[in-house]
Chain A
């Protein structure tokens, strides 16, 4: 069974500073994918960034980057130059193959609540 661990229930960061949100995962699959989603108080899950297990370079999307350390099974999200609008819940998720269905489900961690301080 796969497992996603986010050890930081809450984090604070000063506006314009960088912050790292931790995520570790557990899988026996060789091929897997890792995602980060942002969930504001409105409830919608917003896709931020994706990292494939065979990708040689760390993924980047604007102010978001993923610090992927395969041997440590970690996929930390780095947000640079934090903005007030970054205050939200952040979820790390892993792609888990739905055997026989030809697709996959996402298995999520419990999330980290990020608060950006002016």
Chain B
């Protein structure tokens, strides 16, 4: 399978714990995005990487959220001191700019439940 992959697919944690999610983009894609989707809503943009550079992070929800893409390949999203309101689906997408334009391809997401 050469699509975007995310791990874990599901995560249950207790309030106050830290969690980390991983995203592996399509191999030739240099752009990577993180989104959050709450129940009954469309995905909401969080942050964006081009190669290893995080070019947009102002939309991260709070300073408890951070993301990295150290070698320009896979990325991690960490939430520290989780709260019940963090329960959501976290989606990763990757893209490649071509003459035809740019389309973001999404992974299957990580469902987080904070108890």
Number of interface residues of B (CB under 8 A): 27
| A45 to B103 CA separation, bound complex (whole angstroms) | 12
| A100 to B57 CA separation, bound complex (whole angstroms) | 12
Q: Which residues of B contact A43 (CB under 8 A)?
A: 89, 91, 108-109, 111
Task: Check A104–B108 contact: CB distance below 8 A.
Answer: no
Task: Check B108–A42 contact: CB distance below 8 A.
Answer: yes
Q: Which residues of B contact A44 (CB under 8 A)?
A: 106-109
- Is A84 an interface position by the 8 A CB rule? no
Query: What 1/0 flags go to A15-29 for Cβ under 8 Å of B?
Result: 000000000000000
The size bracket of the interface on A is: 20 to 34
User: What is the number of contacts between chain A and chain B, taking CB atoms within 8 Å?
Assistant: 69
- Which of the segments B40-48, B62-70, B72-80 contacts the partner chain? B40-48
Partner of A47, one of B40, B42, B105: B105
- Is B101 an interface position by the 8 A CB rule? yes
Task: Check A105–B42 contact: CB distance below 8 A.
Answer: no
Q: Which residues of A contact B102 (CB under 8 A)?
A: 103-104
Task: Check A47–B55 contact: CB distance below 8 A.
Answer: no
| A37 to B91 CA separation, bound complex (whole angstroms) | 13
| A106 to B104 CA separation, bound complex (whole angstroms) | 9
- Is B31 an interface position by the 8 A CB rule? yes
Q: Which residues of B contact A74 (CB under 8 A)?
A: none
- Is B7 an interface position by the 8 A CB rule? no
Prevailing SS type, chain A contact patch: strand
What's the nearest-Cβ distance from chain A to residue B107, in Å?
Answer: 7
Task: Check B108–A106 contact: CB distance below 8 A.
Answer: no
Partner of B56, one of A35, A50, A98, A110: A98
Task: Check B42–A109 contact: CB distance below 8 A.
Answer: yes
| A50 to B100 CA separation, bound complex (whole angstroms) | 11
- Is B13 an interface position by the 8 A CB rule? no
Which residues of A, 95-118, contact B by the 8 Å Cβ criterion?
98, 100-111
Task: Check B109–A108 contact: CB distance below 8 A.
Answer: no
| A107 to B40 CA separation, bound complex (whole angstroms) | 15
| A98 to B104 CA separation, bound complex (whole angstroms) | 14
Q: Which residues of B contact A66 (CB under 8 A)?
A: none
Q: Can you spell out 6 A-B residue pairs with CB atoms less than 8 angstroms apart?
A: A47-B105, A101-B50, A103-B50, A105-B45, A105-B56, A111-B41
